[in-house]
Structure formats: C-alpha cells, structure tokens
Chain A
Amino acid sequence: MSTQVTTGLHIRRSVQLTIDGQSVTVAEGETILSACRTMGTEIPTLCFGDTITPKNACRVCMVEVEGSRVLVPSCSRKVEPGMVVRTDTERTDHSRKLVLELLGSSVDLSLTKNVARWNSEYEAEPIRFGKPAAPTNDRDEATTGHHHVADGSSVVNVLQPVKIDNELYVRDYSKCIMCYQCVDACGEQWQNTFAIGVAGRGFDIRISTEFNVDLTDSACVYCGNCIQVCPTGALMFTSEYNMREAGTWKEEEQTQTDTICPYCGVGCSLTLHVQDNEIVKVTSPSDHSVTHGNLCIKGRFGFQHVQNRAE
C-alpha cells in the first residue's frame, strides 16, 4: 500500500553504495537494512519493527561497513554515499550466531518467527552454554547492581511464570527479548500512556509497571498496541493464549481480513483474524496513515458483540 502524497513534492536525493560487491542506489535516508531488502538480501532481525524507531538492541542485524571498527546495526544505520557494506562475512555470521545463541539460551523463542531457520542457517546451538537454570519468580525484585555470583553449574535465563492479571491479554516475559517496542508503543512513539517502562539494569532489565503492580492497578488503557508490536509472543490476546493452551490455535487455518472499526468516527483499519467463523485476534495494518498499526481498546478487543451468538 502506498501512502497518499498530499502536499508539495518531497524530492529525496539518491545514494549509491556497495552491498556485497553489488552497487545499489537507494533514496537518501534509507537504512542499510531497507537497501538490503530492496536487493533481496535477507538480514535477520528480531527487535526491528516497522512502526517503531529502531532501537537496534538485539544486534542480530549487524553488518560490516568499511572503515568502521565495529559492526554496524543495519536496521538503523542510514546509507551514505560510497558506503561499502558486507552482510555475509565471517564476522557478521559469527555475530549473528552468537546473538542467536545468547538469546536462545536465555529466552523462550519458541514463538519468535524464523528463529529455528536462522539457528540452523548460522549453526547456532544455544544449549552449548550449559544446562538452563530453573524458572524463577523473583526477577521483578532484583537489586540493581548486584547479583548472586554465578557458580556456572547452570545458565541463568528469564524463564518465569506468565502474568495473567486481566481479561484481555497476558504477559509471558519468559519470551521477552527486550526489544523495547512495547514500551515505545505504550510511550512516546504512539500511545503516550506510559503504563510500562523498562526497569532494572543489565540482565535484570525487564518490562514493568511501576513497582510491578498488576496492569489493573497501572495506567494501562488496554489499547493492545504493545501486543501489536511484540515480535516474540510475550504479549498475547487472552483468546489466543487460551486457544494455544487448549491446543486449538490453528494459525494456518485462519483468515485475515482488513476492515474498518465499528466504533467512533476516526475510521481505524482493523485486520480481523478469523478461525472457524470466530474473530480470534485483531491487529491493524502498520502502513496505514490513520492507525500506523495502533488501535484503542474498542477497536482491538471490542469485537465480541458480533459473536455473542449462543442463546
């Protein structure tokens, strides 16, 4: 979908650079990642989302840029004229492999798209760091700047109980890779509610309400814009969570249909995910000028009235 050009002409200069030996010309302001995608070169990304300013926190998209001492995050680095980029060197591959292993050894990536494929492509074996430690339930009480010194007998991770404190969505931070997207979507970049923030430091870093209060005691307005951007399934509609628990979630059988929200007059685009004639989840197209992937509680969760059919 292209966006409507409304006023004036935005003339962007083009930039020529070299990627993997191939010369490529893209518009000024594009990132290395988008240039690579233009060329059809796949670069793995985990924390990157198309509605949020890249945080480049995961570091799986690193590429080599000539003249740079360290690798460069392709998702956020803007192209420059004459830039020489390599996406498939020993260094980049090593870096991706290790990042996949580090995340894989500390986070449940079972619902993160493409990870299995990338693991095999980059020969990543998260298990080689050692036996995973048992889940804990005290990550929210960590003392900043202090930790129990590791004895090395098992490798620590973020596995913890699922947080279920409201009817609409669950938070399974065992799956959280700390991409920051939910915080940015809840905060300044979109919703500006700031119900969740990043708390703690280092490995104890976590997504949290103030003092880890339940969502129902927080500022949360249940817009679900955090769920929309979550790349790992850490944030999930209760409907999806329950169906997955019951083994009835069949993504391959679902249809996705774009329509418009039935509530107020803003006219937000909805994507209805339907399984067996039931709406099971609602998202919004990220490239639409009205919503940019965002909805409010009514648009995101207010669909039940068309399927409260049982009498």
Chain B
Amino acid sequence: MDLKVNSSVATRDERDAVDSVLGKPTQYTQGGTRTEQDLRISRAGEALRNLRHMLLPTLHAVNDHIGWISRGSINYIAQQLDVAPAEIYGVASFYALFSTTERPKRQVHVCIDLACRAMGGLREDELPEGTHPSPCLGTCERAPAVLVIEAGNPARHEVLAPATPVQINALAKGAWPEAEPSIVSATPQADDDSTKLVLLGRIGKVDPLSITDYQQHGGFVALRKAIQLGATSVIDEVNASGLVGRGGAAFPTGRKWGAVAGQPAFPHYSICNADESEPGTFKDRVIMEGDPFALVEAMIIASFATGCEQGFIYLRGEYPRAIRNVQNAINESKKQGFLGDNILGSGFNFALSIVRGAGAYICGEETAIFNSIEGYRGEPRNKPPFPVEVGVFGKPTLVNNVETLVNVLSIVNDGGATYAALGTEGSKGRKLFCLSGAVTKPGIYEVEFGITLRQLIDLAGGLRSGSTLQAILLGGAAGGFVGPDDLDLPLTMEATHAAGSSLGSGVVMVLDQSVDMVDQLRRIAAFFRDESCGQCVPCRVGTVRQEEIISRLAQGVQSQDIEMLRELGTVMRDASICGLGQTANSAIDSAINKLKVFAQ
C-alpha cells in the first residue's frame, strides 16, 4: 500500500527484534537497503497482505527485546508488513503486556485479583514503586502471585508465588526469583495413590519435557488408535462420550467437530483456546506445564478428525512455564514425526504452533481469538456466522479449550461409551476444578461429575484452620457466588444452572470471614472495566457505570443504586456483543441477591 511513515527510525536493536521474526527485508520498500533491482521492480499486494498474522509475534519480539514499542519500531514493522502505523498502534495499544511508551526493562506484575486478594495479596493502592497491578495470573493455588518480566534478547519471564511484600520489593529493585516449584504441587491428588487420575494422571509422574517419558506413560497411544479408527469414527466416539466444552460455554464437543469436519470450504483450522484468564482459573496452565504432550497429542487428534492441516495454541502471555513446556512439546513432537507431513504414515499433515497472547482476557472469547491471531485488535466478532463456518482467516475453524481436548485422549483410548458412563445424566465424564482461597490444599482436582461442593472442599482438606466460610465463587468473575447454605450443591451443569450459578471454567474460590466482600465486588467490577474490549456500548460504558455505582454503594447504600445496577446487568446481559459483557454483572448480581452484600 502507499504507506506513509514519519521520520522516526528504528534502532539497530529494534530492527534486529523485528527481523528475528520476519527475517531481513528482501526489498527496499520493506526497509531493506536499496539495490539495482529496487529501482525497477517492487512487490507488495497480496504477498504482503498475507503476512498480517505476523504482527502479533513481531510486536512481542520488540516488546520482549526492548521492553516497549517505539514509533521507530512501528514504522519499521509497518514497512516490513505493509501495514499502516495507525493500525499497528491500534493493535499494540490493545494489549496490556505491550507498552507504547518507554518504560524500564524490568516489569513486575503483581496480581491484585480475587484469589490473591483473598489470600493477603496487595491491593492496587498498596503496590511498591516499580511494580504495577495485574489481573489474575492464574497461579491461584500459590497465591499471592507475581510475574516478573525482564526485557532482553532473550527476555526473561518468571512467576513468583507465593510472594511476600518484601519479596515483591526486592523484585522491583532487581532481584530475580528462583525457579518455580514442581508443578506437582498444584495437583494435591497426585500424592494419593488410591485415586486413579486420568486427566492429571501423568502430572508429577513424567518429565514434562521428555517425549520418551510421555510415550512410556501411554503417550501417543490415542493418536495411533485415532488414525486406525479414522476421522469419522473418532467424531462418533466424541459424540458418544457426551463431552461438552470445558471453557465455560459447555457446547457439545462432538457436534462442533462434526460441523467443522463437514464444511466444504478449505482449509480448516484448529485452535486450542489456552488463553485461560478467568480469575481463579488455572487448570489449563497446570495441564500445559505438567503434561504438555497430552495437549499436543489431543490437538493432533482433533485436527485429524476435523480435517485441519494447521493448528494454533493461543496461549496466555502470562504463562511463561506453560509456553516453554508446550513449545518444547511441539518441537519434540515434530522431531519424532508426530507433527508435520504424513503423520504416522496416515497421509495426514498437520502443523501446530503457539500464538502467544499479550494480556487481554477478551482474547479468550472464541472470535476475539481469531482477530488476535490474524494480527488485528482482539475484538469479538458478530455471530452468526459461527466459527465452524467462518472462523480464523475466514475459514471453518475448530476452537476447543485445553481441558476439553485432553479429555479426548481417554475417550479415544477407552471409547465414548465408557466416558459417558461417568458423571450424571446432564454432566458426563470427568471435570477439573480449580480450588483456591481458604482451603487447606488448594490446587486442581479431578473428579467425576456429581460430587457436591462440600465433598470437593473436603477433598481439598477442608477449610484452613481458623477459617469460617463466608462465600464461594463458582465459575470465576463471570460466574456467581454461593453461600455456606449451598454446600450440598452437586457440581454439575444442571444443578448449578438450577441454582442460578454456573460451573464456568471450574473455579471454586473459597472465601472465609477475613475477606471483604465489597472489596471483592469492586475488584470484579474493575476487572471487567479493564478487560472490556470497548467495542459495544453496554459493556464499554456499562462496566464503568457498574464500577462507579459499586464504589458509591461501598460508601453508603442507596436503593436506587441497587436498582440501577440491576438495570445495567440486564442491558449488559441482553445487548452486549459477547460473553464478557453478558456476564460482567453476574457475580455482582449473585452477591447482592444471594449473599445480600449491600443489604441495608
């Protein structure tokens, strides 16, 4: 295009960062040195337009190497990708992990979200200098958590949890945290040999970085079986299993697969939604850190069944260890021929890569993921058309959550009927729950559907000593609160639905008497305000008004404010484009109605 870039020029390091993703420019118009050839021909057009999806990785590279994204870098990226600077600025300024203003190389992101707050973490107004607040870092089992990022080539990312204020101060001043503890600490059931774990079975028992170890523990057996069965039979088994999506929406997985497989338009794409950002949710992280090959294998099977030759794992940027481990799993799988052309002699070709998120809860929305992958702002799209027909790059796309995918391995291995026999009539199979807050052993728990809330908390060793139960948040910030009276609620989709709540992503956040519920509600409101993409009015303005009203209520309850909150909740639920706005009031609503938080 007829680009116009201003006079700001990228530094050598900035150029190197961009080139590390895009390669050195091959022509003058893309920022290369001018050769004889450039005087006579230039190539733009479709070839460059097809590079747009490289924008997000390129911005990451600059942000990683330099620490922020300058005008000069944006100009150079603009030339390399033939994308206007204003567009790039729009994308860069969409993500919280990127900065378009200069900042120190060291960034200390302190989680101020629900679980960390409940566990004595700092609040936004208590942070030491040199640190800044972060939404839930998905390390709730070790709350409170901190993510440290140090720009450089390569950039360093590390999570410290639990983190004391003293430690946080030290991080801000240049200390570097020790490596995280083994992931087995996040799966307390692993200590108990009497429980047969399937989804979490390998965690703590295999080396997550070793493909040999994985294969010695049943790895790639399901893939071989799937290829033997053939694509259609795999989908039949998934259908028979009754598996539904574990990301929150609970759509029947087999139906989705069948719909993608049957689309006449090609290519098909598969996406693993690993942008786990719902406050209180960390199950996908634990799987990716502890059993990354399982996810890769499940992606291969899903893509084989639905005819996708290219897949993406859209992985949350705040999950450094998950990124490292999944990337290793992809690399190793490629080396061993589980990825690439003609996998296991089946004739099936499949390429898989990670797309790293950059700090945007909304990108966990299945259509926002598409925009983010394509190099646009991560704004949700309108549905219809639905992703199975028109998804990423405008093609039929399969989107599955990490937990959903990993379930497929046992479905293929043991048959859909075996899986369907587990759980209840309305909720079949196994489920992971993320226990955090005031329980003795927080972590991820694998159970058969049907267990009650009380039983689950007991499984986690009950409440911490000295704690009395005040409330439980089910399903995360987009879910709802229940109270001490609801402990016998069976944790099934049907029962929670009937109780006016939802399982969502499996969050069970236990809040004891020490927790300030009003403070929790203010944080929920602030969270949605920060994470709204801003596209539609009910969510963009509604989340702001909601926060303002809650702030007012915190100072003194007025009945018209309660009524206005209710009205806001209705318009957000009825008229927002996507699930974010539609659920932005649900936890607050439940706290008011069920827990009577603002009762006069």
Residues of A within 8 A of B (CB): 55-60, 62, 70-71, 73, 76-77, 91, 94-95, 98-99, 102-103, 105-106, 128-130, 141, 144-147, 149-153, 155-156, 177-178, 180, 187, 192-205, 208-211, 213, 217-219
- The chain B residue with its CB closest to the CB of A197 is B90
- Summarize A's interface: helix, strand, loop or mixed: loop
Q: How far is the CA of A128 from the CA of B552 in the complex (A)?
A: 13
Any chain A CB within 8 A of the CB of B450? no
Asked if A155 and B548 make an inter-chain contact with CB atoms under 8 angstroms apart, the answer reads yes
Asked if B541 and A102 make an inter-chain contact with CB atoms under 8 angstroms apart, the answer reads yes
Contacts of B535 in A (CB 8 A): 55, 57, 178, 180, 205
- The chain A residue with its CB closest to the CB of B378 is A201
Contacts of B550 in A (CB 8 A): 152
Asked if A150 and B551 make an inter-chain contact with CB atoms under 8 angstroms apart, the answer reads yes
- What's the minimum C-beta distance from B83 to chain A, rounded to whole angstroms? 8
From 117 to 131 in chain B, residues with beta carbon under 8 angstroms from any chain A beta carbon are 124-125
Contacts of B551 in A (CB 8 A): 149-152
Asked if B538 and A59 make an inter-chain contact with CB atoms under 8 angstroms apart, the answer reads yes
Contacts of B582 in A (CB 8 A): 70
Any chain A CB within 8 A of the CB of B284? no
Asked if A70 and B574 make an inter-chain contact with CB atoms under 8 angstroms apart, the answer reads yes
Which of B92-100, B148-156, B200-208, B319-327 contacts the other chain? B92-100
Supply 8 further A-B pairs (C-beta < 8 A) apart from A198-B90, A203-B534, A208-B89. A73-B382, A77-B384, A130-B552, A178-B534, A195-B4, A195-B84, A219-B3, A219-B86
Q: How far is the CA of A187 from the CA of B4 in the complex (A)?
A: 14
| In the complex, per-residue mask of B72-111: 1 if CB is within 8 Å of any chain A CB, else 0 | 0010000000011111111001111010110000000000
Asked if A105 and B382 make an inter-chain contact with CB atoms under 8 angstroms apart, the answer reads no
A-B contacts, 24 of them at CB < 8 A, read A60-B537, A95-B538, A99-B538, A99-B575, A105-B541, A129-B549, A130-B552, A144-B96, A145-B96, A146-B530, A149-B125, A150-B544, A150-B548, A152-B548, A155-B545, A156-B544, A198-B90, A201-B532, A202-B530, A202-B531, A203-B543, A203-B544, A219-B4, A219-B85
- Scoring A70, A98, A129, A187 by chain B CB atoms within 10 A of each residue's CB, the highest score goes to A98
Contacts of A71 in B (CB 8 A): 574-575
- Scoring A151, A177, A202 by chain B CB atoms within 10 A of each residue's CB, the highest score goes to A202
Interface size class of B (residues with CB under 8 A): 35 or more
Asked if B547 and A149 make an inter-chain contact with CB atoms under 8 angstroms apart, the answer reads yes
Q: How far is the CA of A219 from the CA of B450 in the complex (A)?
A: 60
In the complex, the 8 A-B pairs of residues with the closest C-beta atoms, listed nearest first: A145-B96, A205-B534, A194-B84, A197-B90, A152-B551, A152-B552, A98-B571, A210-B85
| In the complex, per-residue mask of B514-553: 1 if CB is within 8 Å of any chain A CB, else 0 | 0000000010001001111111111011111101111111
Contacts of B541 in A (CB 8 A): 102-103, 105-106, 203
Q: How far is the CA of A98 from the CA of B549 in the complex (A)?
A: 15
Beyond A70-B573, A145-B531, A202-B543, is A218–B86 a contact (Cβ under 8 Å)?
Answer: yes
Contacts of A128 in B (CB 8 A): 560, 564
Any chain A CB within 8 A of the CB of B567? yes
Q: Which of B95, B96, B537 contacts A146 (CB 8 A)?
A: B96
Asked if B86 and A145 make an inter-chain contact with CB atoms under 8 angstroms apart, the answer reads no
- What's the minimum C-beta distance from A176 to chain B, rounded to whole angstroms? 12
- What's the minimum C-beta distance from A115 to chain B, rounded to whole angstroms? 13
Asked if B93 and A200 make an inter-chain contact with CB atoms under 8 angstroms apart, the answer reads yes
| In the complex, per-residue mask of B551-592: 1 if CB is within 8 Å of any chain A CB, else 0 | 111110000100010011011011111000010000000000
Beyond A59-B536, A198-B90, A202-B530, is A91–B132 a contact (Cβ under 8 Å)?
Answer: no
Any chain A CB within 8 A of the CB of B360? yes
Q: How far is the CA of A129 from the CA of B544 in the complex (A)?
A: 11
Any chain A CB within 8 A of the CB of B6? yes
Q: How far is the CA of A194 from the CA of B568 in the complex (A)?
A: 35
Asked if A201 and B533 make an inter-chain contact with CB atoms under 8 angstroms apart, the answer reads yes
Asked if A147 and B571 make an inter-chain contact with CB atoms under 8 angstroms apart, the answer reads no
Asked if B567 and A94 make an inter-chain contact with CB atoms under 8 angstroms apart, the answer reads yes
- What's the minimum C-beta distance from B399 to chain A, rounded to whole angstroms? 19
Q: Which of A56, A192, A210 contacts B382 (CB 8 A)?
A: A56
Q: How far is the CA of A47 from the CA of B152 in the complex (A)?
A: 43
Asked if B533 and A213 make an inter-chain contact with CB atoms under 8 angstroms apart, the answer reads no
Contacts of B544 in A (CB 8 A): 106, 150, 155-156, 203
Any chain A CB within 8 A of the CB of B188? no
Contacts of A62 in B (CB 8 A): 574-575
- What's the minimum C-beta distance from B576 to chain A, rounded to whole angstroms? 7
Q: How far is the CA of A217 from the CA of B88 in the complex (A)?
A: 16
Beyond A149-B526, A152-B551, A205-B534, is A129–B564 a contact (Cβ under 8 Å)?
Answer: yes
Asked if B545 and A145 make an inter-chain contact with CB atoms under 8 angstroms apart, the answer reads no
Any chain A CB within 8 A of the CB of B483? no
Beyond A70-B573, A128-B564, A147-B529, is A192–B1 a contact (Cβ under 8 Å)?
Answer: yes
Any chain A CB within 8 A of the CB of B377? yes
Asked if B532 and A59 make an inter-chain contact with CB atoms under 8 angstroms apart, the answer reads no
- The chain B residue with its CB closest to the CB of A99 is B537
Beyond A199-B90, A219-B86, is A205–B95 a contact (Cβ under 8 Å)?
Answer: no
Any chain A CB within 8 A of the CB of B135? yes
Q: How far is the CA of A94 from the CA of B537 in the complex (A)?
A: 14
